[in-house]
Amino acid sequence: MGSLVVNRKPLIILDALSFAYDGHADALRALTLEIDPGERVGLIGPNGAGKSTLFLCLTGVLHGYRGRIEIDGLSPADPKQLPALRRAVGMVFQSSDDQLFNPTVLDDVAFGPLNLGASHDEALAMARQALARVGLAEDLHTRAPHRLSNGQKRRVALAGVLAMAPAAMLLDEPASDLDA
């Protein structure tokens, strides 16, 4: 018997990706990379190396890049595909304060599922499940996010992305502002 060969398409494809902010040198230059479903990849480099710029290109926030980006078969260059792309890719920002804006933790985590069309009850159930996954105690669910520690805020931001069950998650500086 021969071995079973699974021909799996990469989840993320970058082909000669380059991007420059107006009037500046390339922030990204000819980046080529493939990431398979379930694979975990860490990008490391100093401030200004282009990590956040890459994430903003991947999510369709930055336009005008050269080369090709494909995520779960979708291109951020196609405005018609952006709603589906934003369901497929979740991003946890470098600063949790930039991501948390609702009056309670539970409301914040339910925000994404509500915007994806979940009913109020479904969104709350998804939020509770995501908060449990990141180990955030139930007594914090009704607290205002700005009253949490940086580590707790980080967990809430992560739960907000997990609640939407994206195909890919981007974590920008996931350990910044955390105690050892």
Q: What is the pLDDT of residues 41-62, one digit of tens each?
A: 999 888 888 999 999 999 999 9
Kindly state the average pLDDT of the residues 104-113: 96
Helix%, strand%, coil% for the chain, nearest 5? 35, 20, 45
Share of residues in the chain with pLDDT > 70 (%):
94
Q: Decide if pLDDT at 113 tops 90.
A: yes
**Predicted confidence (pLDDT) per residue in 115-150, tens digit:** 989 999 999 999 999 999 999 999 999 999 999 999
Burial class from Cβ neighbours inside 10 Å (0-12, 13-18, 19+) for residue 65 reads buried
- Rounded Cα gap, residues 75 and 85, in angstroms: 7
Q: Decide if pLDDT at 7 tops 70.
A: no
Element (H, E) at 46: none
Confidence of residue 175 (pLDDT cuts 50, 70, 90): confident
What is the DSSP annotation of 51-113? HHHHHHHHTTSS---EEEEEETTB-TT-GGGHHHHHHHEEEE-SSGGGT--SSSHHHHHHHHH
Pairing of strands 26-35, 12-20: antiparallel
Q: Decide if pLDDT at 3 tops 80.
A: no
pTM of the model: 0.86
No. of helices (H) and no. of strands (E), the chain: 5, 5
What is the per-residue pLDDT for 54?
96
The mean pLDDT of the chain is 92
Q: Decide if pLDDT at 28 tops 90.
A: yes
